[in-house]
Chains A and B, each alone.
Chain A
């Protein structure tokens, strides 16, 4: 025999647990970035290392991956100095190639920093998602003239594929934000249904009458219906 003080039925609690399990992982981006750099580095034998950076609308780096610590250092210098081939590649949505850092005068401050790391040539391709240019994929070498036009095409293709993946993951993340709203809605819905159940038993009402009763009590107490429902379900 169920009394009005009974806890909500187990099936309702099980439903809630199921809903909270739907959240899924938020850490899907990093493996994709790691994979993109490994594929680029292994497919381009003249590369000493490969890196990828995602850049937000303000030119700030948001995520990154690299196959070699030197790549990460050379990359960081670009964002510190606000200049460099990858920033240009991102900003202009174009492939940028430096055949020999000793002879290239386009980014002198960054070139000094990169030469100190014994880098000589760089190739950078934009990572384009369906919405924007999201970053750059690049390879570095300690030899001059390490990259030719064939490598340019190859890196551009990798960058395109990375952009598609990154774009898909980003829309998945905005879908997760939306699903948070839906989940909150479901939680409230189940809470109200359980409270209606309590009122149905306690006062022999129909569920529809119980809802109306909740709206009246909520208004009297300055609550939302969900808040009012919660007062009927201590320990929910």
Chain B
């Protein structure tokens, strides 16, 4: 039994785009994850990733392809890190009663 290619309704995992688009978006997310590549690799390894530290780096820089599954493990490693970070500061609201400056 194969799962459909895209997600359950209103869900969670976004599977879309060409492999290269997904790679670029993954690199962008990694850029916001505030961790070095060593930590990314260790997290990826802990999730069951099979590529080596330099293969991961080569994939991020676009020098080497990666199987969809290894990409997914890497994405999960980045997303778990992002979930640990405090959210970016929210925009403030203003008091309607305040005197105009």
* Chain A residues in the interface with B (C-beta under 8 A): 181-182, 184-186, 188-189, 192-193, 196, 203-205, 208-209, 211-213, 215-216, 219-220, 224-226
Residue pair B76, A188 in contact (C-beta under 8 Å): no
Question: Which of B18-26, B27-35, B39-47 makes up part of the contact surface?
Answer: B39-47
User: Within the assembled complex, what's the spacing in Å between the Cα atoms of A189 and B45?
Assistant: 7
Q: Is the pair A189, B46 in contact by a Cβ cutoff of 8 Å?
A: yes
Contacts of A209 in B (CB 8 A): 2-3
Interface residues of B (CB under 8 A from A): 1-3, 7-8, 11-13, 42-43, 45-48, 68-69, 72-73, 76, 79-80, 83
Report the separation of the CA atoms of residues A224 and B77 in the bound assembly, to the nearest whole angstrom.
9
Interface of A is mostly: helix
CB of A4 to closest CB in B, whole Å: 15
When C-beta atoms are compared, the residue in chain A nearest to B13 turns out to be A216
Are the C-beta atoms of A225 and B47 separated by less than 8 Å?
yes
Number of A-B contacts defined by CB within 8 Å: 58
CB of A184 within 8 A of CB of B46, answer: yes
**What 19 additional pairs, Cβ within 8 angstroms, besides A208-B68, A216-B13?**
A185-B43, A186-B46, A188-B46, A189-B48, A192-B48, A196-B48, A203-B1, A204-B1, A205-B1, A211-B48, A211-B69, A212-B3, A213-B3, A215-B72, A215-B79, A219-B12, A219-B13, A219-B79, A226-B47
A226 CB contacts on chain B under 8 angstroms: 46-47
Is B80 a contact partner of A224 (Cβ separation < 8 A)? yes
Contact A212 B13, beta carbon cutoff 8 Å:
yes
Interface core residue of A184, A196, A205, A211 (most chain B CB under 10 Å) = A211
